[in-house]
Amino acid sequence: MSVRVQKTFEALFALEDLRGILRGSLPTGLDEEEEKAFREKISDLKSIIAELEEDRGTPRTTMIADTLPIRSREENYINIQPIQAAGRLTTEARKALISYGDGYSTCDACRKPFRLDKITKPSIAGFHADLAKFVNMDQARVVPGARRGFQAVASTLVSKGDPVIVSALAHYTEFLAVEEAGGVVKEVPLDAGNRVTADATAEKIEEVIRESGRTPALVMIDHYDYQFANEHDVRGIAKVAHQYDIPFLYNGAYTVGVMPVDGKAIGADFVVGSGHKSMASVAPSGVLATTDEWASKVLRTTAMVGDVTNRKFGIKEVEMLGCTLMGGTLLSMMASFPAVKERTLHWDEEVKKSNYFIDALLSIEGSKVLSEYPRKHTLTKVDTTGSFDTVARTHKRRGFYFSDELAERGIVGEFAGATRTWKLNTYGLSWKQVRYLAEAFQEIAAKYDLPITT
Amino acid sequence: MSVRVQKTFEALFALEDLRGILRGSLPTGLDEEEEKAFREKISDLKSIIAELEEDRGTPRTTMIADTLPIRSREENYINIQPIQAAGRLTTEARKALISYGDGYSTCDACRKPFRLDKITKPSIAGFHADLAKFVNMDQARVVPGARRGFQAVASTLVSKGDPVIVSALAHYTEFLAVEEAGGVVKEVPLDAGNRVTADATAEKIEEVIRESGRTPALVMIDHYDYQFANEHDVRGIAKVAHQYDIPFLYNGAYTVGVMPVDGKAIGADFVVGSGHKSMASVAPSGVLATTDEWASKVLRTTAMVGDVTNRKFGIKEVEMLGCTLMGGTLLSMMASFPAVKERTLHWDEEVKKSNYFIDALLSIEGSKVLSEYPRKHTLTKVDTTGSFDTVARTHKRRGFYFSDELAERGIVGEFAGATRTWKLNTYGLSWKQVRYLAEAFQEIAAKYDLPITT
């Protein structure tokens, strides 16, 4: 870890120790002993900051709670891990988390009717309205991950044995949500370019009806899938689904928060997004948005009445199980939201950087892109069997030589040891970082005499 | 906000700004412009720390992301809010959150078989084993809140129309979990002391069988309820449930993490706890623990197979929807865990402090305790209709006079404006803080000429 990064963490931790002293004191102020501890900690802090400023000093702390190493991969490295890129917190989210980390921190001003999305201090109610608008749907709720959005919809719409149409590239959480609701997934086959088309979806629906005698309860398709991040024709698929009167769930785990998403233009009945994957938020977090029509079903309020007490919890929503993200998860979403909204407007630039890197990789002879190309996304599946893997075959570290070379250049996030097919994500890297990344790959190729096309 | 608290937050935020600069840089170091920004920020930081040390200066920052006020109630006040007390983060958890806030921060070293509870770096697998041991059960999983634990169990065990036995003081999330699974709650009536007994549970089970012809699918009882925090005879109730071959879910939202819980001694088939309520963790978080016998059902792995691709996601657990807490929520639980384990050994002392405060309140004539007394818990429902409310009746601020008086003394967390029946929690306050709290209440009583028994 660089000294500056180490010292930045140490200074943050020293301040948390100070906070601990403040928390243990009376509202009237510190007593003599606390004052002494406070002074000592300030003195420590000043000496840490001197080290930070002068870029010197050995580590004072390496573990949190004696067991957890400090995680500094975002500060010390360029991280190309496929699922982490767009979930990195913004600086404002990190500040919000410092302030709102405590358990039920959202609940200070919870008043009747006692539901998370009705709280106005902080402006959680306003955030929910903004979220719905952001994806152009009527209503939105925050959920503990996109998977919990799939679950809420499947649990509402899918009965035992019901078929549900998903993509042959569907994420495993879609499988599980359908299984948990008692349904059965039916996959739409891919075309030659590994894409799901409207026609193939129509054919699959016909086939399912013909073979099972049941109309699918739901069509659930990823706009960009998790394997190739290829774009699938969600607009055409929504249209097809509606021709059969089947509701359409738009899986935006790889889109909501990184590119503009217009749920109504797509024809989505449900839009699901992921906070920790694409909205710069703490896990588990996500969004489920829907139309007013479907809200009355998926966001139905409880009808259960206590048989002895006659208790009713009228405004609580069954599928949400009441409140969902009662603290730091939600506040990180809210604090990142202005930046997230803004960044979706610059998606084109992110795609340009993605293609810039991929072109550099392709210049290393034998490298291939398994995703559609040119790229329309920052997540890409590549095949370096014909380039970097040729070295791995005889290297004593096998595929790990490649990880070693990347790490030496301050790059992490590749699947350690993998040199054949693997995924990476350039999202959020600056041009300077992307250029550095591209050069690093070419440098490694050159070092091992892999030919580069210029 | 006190100057010291304000300056502590400002210093933390300045360090996050520094971190932002580090994150935007190349692995080779800062460029000229970044270096300049870094130097300037360090200079800001030093001036903030000088203000912190000298206890002076006006606020430089009051909002996060321009919209979120800094939350400082734990630093500036004694907080007696009923549900927030035991969810406050430990200092180590706050450090972990600084380090592991980013989206999928747990996933750096995720390897085959790709499941959260199998990750060994950081030691998430070990934490899961420790968690199971902590509540003396065979297996444990982390879940997004206790409610998601109820849901997993209900979804597995409860079929359409199945009765589920709950307490007449059951939390609303139990109602919702049963409703979501298609079941119907049947409440066990309370005894004269507002407690659920084993006998009453047996009678209720008999009544349900008689009237519906169906044996309840599940008995789910809170050890201490959310209304009075009275203790209910979970051990006797588990025994009764088992006499009818009904599995027993122990709701430990108000126990796991604050007092010792021995699931096997209780006879629990499921133990559910809440991270943000009682384990000093970020929301939403919690634990579901079970026996090996029930694990094969509730933690069953997926059986779904893609009809086109033949894909299977074998090790993923259906009710967990795969991975659950993939980042800061889990890491806050882990960082707090050593302190949480330790604090459960001092529960007696917490109960003493609770009774100390309640006795002081009762010394103000006309005050009553609605919870069982002497207290066995730190959460208590009180009735001040005969004391503080007599002032509210003629005060121009009505019940808010009481909130004003508390706030003036640095106490928050009462339900604003409520002077009749309301709840409070003394958990985690030091003796010094509890004494201060008791004196503050008596001082307010004296100010308004409410008689105090000595």
Q: Provide the H-helix boundaries in A91-233.
A: 91-100, 124-134, 146-157, 172-181, 198-212
Residue range B13-71, pLDDT digits in tens? 999 999 999 999 999 999 999 999 999 999 999 999 999 999 999 999 999 999 999 99
* Cβ pair A306:B170 closer than 8 A: yes
Please state whether beta strands A163-167 and A184-188 pair in parallel, antiparallel, or not at all (unpaired).
parallel
Q: Cα separation of B405 and B409, whole Å?
A: 7
Q: Return the pLDDT at B454.
A: 78
B433 contacts on A by Cβ (under 8 Å): 24, 26
Closest in A18, A84, A436 to B102, CB measured:
A84
- Sort B6 into a burial class: Cβ within 10 Å, 0-12 / 13-18 / 19+: buried
* Cβ pair A176:B411 closer than 8 A: no
* Cβ pair A42:B65 closer than 8 A: no
* CB of B159 closer than 8 Å to CB of B138: no
- Least CA distance to A188: which residue of chain B? B308
* Cis peptide bond N-terminal to A82, omega within 30: no
Cβ neighbours, 10 Å, residue A422: 21
Domain A105-343 maps to which CATH number in 3.20.20.70, 3.40.50.300, 3.40.640.10, 3.40.50.1950?
3.40.640.10
A23 contacts on B by Cβ (under 8 Å): 74-75, 88
Name which of A229, A261, A235, A259 is nearest A248 in CA terms.
Answer: A235
Closest in A173, A307, A316 to B321, CB measured:
A173
Closest in A73, A98, A170 to B12, CB measured:
A98
Q: Cα separation of A14 and A32, whole Å?
A: 20
* Cβ pair A313:B186 closer than 8 A: no
Q: For an interface test with A, which of B5, B7, B19, B300 has the most A Cβ atoms less than 10 Å from its Cβ?
A: B19
- Tell me the nearest-neighbour CA distance from A383 into chain B, angstroms: 20
B185 contacts on A by Cβ (under 8 Å): 304, 306-307
Residues in chain A predicted with pLDDT less than 50, given as ranges, are none
Q: Return the pLDDT at A1.
A: 77
Place of tokens 């991280």: A79
* CATH architecture assignment, domain B347-447: Alpha-Beta Complex (3.90)
> DSSP string covering B267-316, please?
T-SEEEEEHHHHSS-PSS-EEEEE-HHHHHHHTPBP----TTT----TT-
- Tell me the nearest-neighbour CA distance from B410 into chain A, angstroms: 5
Amino acid at A177: A
> DSSP string covering A243-308, please?
HTT--EEEE-TTTBTTB---HHHHT-SEEEEEHHHHSS-PSS-EEEEE-HHHHHHHTPBP----TT
Please state whether beta strands A421-425 and A379-383 pair in parallel, antiparallel, or not at all (unpaired).
antiparallel
Stretch (H or E) spanning B381: strand B379-383
Q: So where are chain A's domains?
A: 3-62, 105-343, 347-447
In the predicted structure, residue B386 carries a pLDDT above the cut 90: yes
Closest in B98, B284, B303 to A98, CB measured:
B98
pLDDT averaged over every residue in chain B: 98
Q: Cα separation of A359 and B274, whole Å?
A: 49
- Least CA distance to A338: which residue of chain B? B65
| A vs B: CB pairs below 8 A | 418
Can you list the pairs that B392-395 forms with residues at least 24 positions away whose Cβ atoms lie under 8 Å? B392/B419
Cβ neighbours, 10 Å, residue A228: 22
Residue range B309-345, pLDDT digits in tens? 999 998 999 999 999 999 999 999 999 999 999 999 9
Phi, psi dihedrals of residue A443, rounded to the nearest 5°: -65, -45
* CB of A372 closer than 8 Å to CB of A230: yes
Residue B192 contacts by C-beta under 8 Å, 6 or more apart in sequence?
none
B173 contacts on A by Cβ (under 8 Å): 321-322
In the predicted structure, residue B1 carries a pLDDT above the cut 90: no
- Least CA distance to B301: which residue of chain A? A176
Q: For an interface test with B, which of A31, A105, A318 has the most B Cβ atoms less than 10 Å from its Cβ?
A: A105
Amino acid at B154: A
Closest in B72, B175, B337 to A304, CB measured:
B175
Residue A296 contacts by C-beta under 8 Å, 6 or more apart in sequence?
none
